[in-house]
């Protein structure tokens, strides 16, 4: 059998990666992680076309069984992606000869008539529309719901999200598969020289508490700032916030500006992916006290970098990171968070114990394992 015949004999999966932005975070990083996991796994009997906007293709791997299928540059904008996905993607996939389509970020083209899989990373627009942009609420209420109901299989990153999808989207539980996300190999403890160089580049002090994630209501940053204010006079630490402005961010930004210790709060905006391991490694503590998360990559990445982690009990956070993190319930309020932060920041031994737990916990989360679960879904749907 020739190489061409072997290629054509494989299940040809097209993965919609148009969501990947110039400054990726959250969901975009999960899409890249899936591609990297599949590239490492090289699933037998499968080959992949990654649909990505021109100019964004370097974020994705390319292998013997994995090629990048370029869409026009304008398809990388928010509006352009919606138009391209719904109007042009089906014909493009037919020209590629795709057997199965994976909508890796909530949405499927409604005109696609072949086998399909969709990943729903969270159902926040349905569960908590008050935390989201109104146009996202409308768009996802219609398109995400239709996509999930029409897909042959739905993939979610956590049991928490699985329950939300079943309850709020109306998908049968038997069609939903949990595929926990992964942590890339670049997330590991950085050496002191690298930490010092990155901290100097961003003007960070020796001791800091780190929050990583887009600034939006569900991240609950105003509460973290309030808790920090309660203990700042007793500790030398700064509060460092890494993340681009998302939506409805004014309350969080105002809280940082009016803080009694505003001079010790640093907001870095989005930072390049390659700087994150050193930022995690240099922190004394990483905090994600979100109101709701469908998964939560930042706590796991911090654990992989050898840093102690505090999370809330919002959404999937206890499920995903609770085994390696301190969980501080949201109902304990900012007083409870402040107490937990002060105790940990004042106790090197307690933080070291968390680091040990986190390092053991995070080993379960790899992109290869994520890809194995997703690949098995492809195999099952493609065999019908």
Tell me: pLDDT of 381 over 70. yes
Question: Using CB atoms within 10 A of its CB, is residue 263 exposed (0-12), middle (13-18) or buried (19+)?
Answer: exposed
pLDDT at residue 26, as a whole number: 82
Closest CA to 157 of 295, 28, 317, 364: 295
Tell me: pLDDT of 290 over 70. yes
110 found inside a domain: yes
Instruction: Mark whether 196 and 324 lie in a shared domain.
Output: yes
Q: What share of the chain is helix, strand, coil (3-state, %, to 5)?
A: 50, 15, 30
Instruction: Mark whether 233 and 334 lie in a shared domain.
Output: yes
DSSP three-state, residue 241? strand
pLDDT at residue 1, as a whole number: 42
Instruction: Mark whether 88 and 50 lie in a shared domain.
Output: yes
Please report, for the domain that includes residue 177, its CATH number.
Answer: 3.40.50.2000
Q: Which residue has the tokens 């737990």?
A: 357
Q: Which residue has the tokens 């160089």?
A: 197
Instruction: Mark whether 165 and 229 lie in a shared domain.
Output: no
pLDDT at residue 7, as a whole number: 56
Instruction: Mark whether 357 and 374 lie in a shared domain.
Output: no
Residue 28, φ and ψ in degrees, nearest 5: -60, -40
DSSP three-state, residue 46? strand
Angle between the 297-304 and 348-362 helix axes, to the nearest 10 degrees? Answer: 110
Instruction: Mark whether 172 and 213 lie in a shared domain.
Output: no
Closest CA to 303 of 327, 277, 340: 277
187 found inside a domain: no
Instruction: Mark whether 320 and 285 lie in a shared domain.
Output: yes
* Average pLDDT, rounded, for the chain: 93
pLDDT at residue 4, as a whole number: 53
Instruction: Mark whether 153 and 222 lie in a shared domain.
Output: no
166 found inside a domain: yes
Domain carrying residue 141: 3-182+366-382
Instruction: Mark whether 157 and 200 lie in a shared domain.
Output: no
Instruction: Mark whether 309 and 213 lie in a shared domain.
Output: yes
Q: How many domains does the chain have?
A: 2
- The per-residue pLDDT for range 222-274, each reduced to its tens digit, is 999 999 999 999 999 999 999 988 888 899 999 999 998 999 999 998 899 89
Confidence of residue 149 (pLDDT cuts 50, 70, 90): very high
Instruction: Mark whether 224 and 349 lie in a shared domain.
Output: yes
29 found inside a domain: yes
- The per-residue pLDDT for range 7-39, each reduced to its tens digit, is 567 899 999 999 998 777 788 999 999 999 999
59 found inside a domain: yes
308 found inside a domain: yes
What count of Cα atoms within 13 Å lies in the side-chain half-sphere of residue 48? Answer: 30
- The per-residue pLDDT for range 77-123, each reduced to its tens digit, is 989 999 999 999 999 999 999 999 999 999 999 999 899 999 999 99
pLDDT at residue 248, as a whole number: 87
Confidence of residue 133 (pLDDT cuts 50, 70, 90): confident
* Of 169-173, 177-181, 310-314, minimum mean pLDDT range: 169-173
- The per-residue pLDDT for range 42-69, each reduced to its tens digit, is 999 999 999 999 999 999 998 889 999 9
What count of Cα atoms within 13 Å lies in the side-chain half-sphere of residue 302? Answer: 30
CA separation for the pair 69, 81 (Å, rounded): 15
Instruction: Mark whether 71 and 104 lie in a shared domain.
Output: yes
Mean pLDDT confidence for 162-166: 95
Confidence of residue 136 (pLDDT cuts 50, 70, 90): confident
CA separation for the pair 290, 160 (Å, rounded): 14
Residues whose CB falls within 8 Å of the CB of residue 109, separated by 6 or more in sequence, listed in order: 85, 86, 89, 90, 101, 103
pLDDT at residue 8, as a whole number: 62
């Amino acid at each position: 059998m020739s190489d061409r015949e072997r290629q054509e004999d494989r299940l040809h999966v097209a993965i919609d990666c148009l969501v990947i932005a110039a400054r990726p975070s959250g969901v975009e990083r999960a899409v890249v992680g899936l591609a990297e996991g599949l590239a490492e796994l090289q699933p037998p009997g499968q080959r992949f076309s990654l649909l990505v906007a021109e100019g964004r293709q370097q974020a994705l791997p390319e292998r013997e069984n994995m090629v990048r299928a370029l869409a026009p540059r304008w398809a990388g904008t928010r509006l352009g992606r919606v138009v391209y996905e719904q109007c042009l993607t089906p014909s493009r996939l037919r020209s590629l000869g795709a057997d199965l389509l994976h909508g890796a970020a909530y949405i499927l083209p409604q005109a696609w008539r072949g086998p399909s899989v969709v990943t729903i990373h969270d159902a926040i627009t349905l569960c908590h529309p008050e935390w989201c942009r109104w146009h996202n609420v409308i768009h996802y209420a219609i398109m995400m719901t239709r996509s999930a109901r029409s897909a042959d299989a739905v993939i979610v990153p956590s049991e928490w999200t699985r329950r939300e999808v079943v309850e709020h989207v109306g998908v049968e539980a038997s069609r939903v598969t949990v595929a926990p996300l992964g942590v890339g190999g670049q997330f590991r403890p950085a050496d002191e020289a690298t930490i010092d160089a990155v901290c100097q580049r961003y003007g960070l002090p020796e001791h800091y508490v780190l929050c990583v994630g887009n600034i939006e209501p569900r991240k609950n940053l105003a509460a973290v700032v309030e808790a920090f204010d309660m203990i700042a006079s007793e500790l030398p630490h700064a509060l460092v916030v890494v993340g681009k402005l998302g939506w409805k961010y004014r309350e969080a930004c105002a809280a940082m500006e009016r803080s009694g210790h505003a001079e010790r709060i640093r907001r870095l905006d989005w930072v390049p992916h390659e700087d994150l391991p050193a930022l995690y490694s240099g922190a004394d503590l990483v905090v994600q006290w979100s109101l709701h998360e469908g998964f939560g990559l930042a706590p796991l990445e911090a654990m992989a970098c050898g840093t102690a982690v505090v999370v809330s009990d919002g959404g999937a956070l206890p499920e995903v990171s609770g085994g390696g993190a301190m969980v501080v319930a949201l109902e304990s309020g900012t007083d409870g968070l402040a107490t937990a932060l002060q105790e940990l920041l004042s106790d090197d031994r307690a933080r070291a114990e968390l680091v040990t737990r986190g390092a053991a916990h995070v080993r379960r989360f790899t992109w290869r394992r994520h890809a194995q679960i997703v690949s098995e879904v492809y195999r099952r749907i493609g065999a019908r």
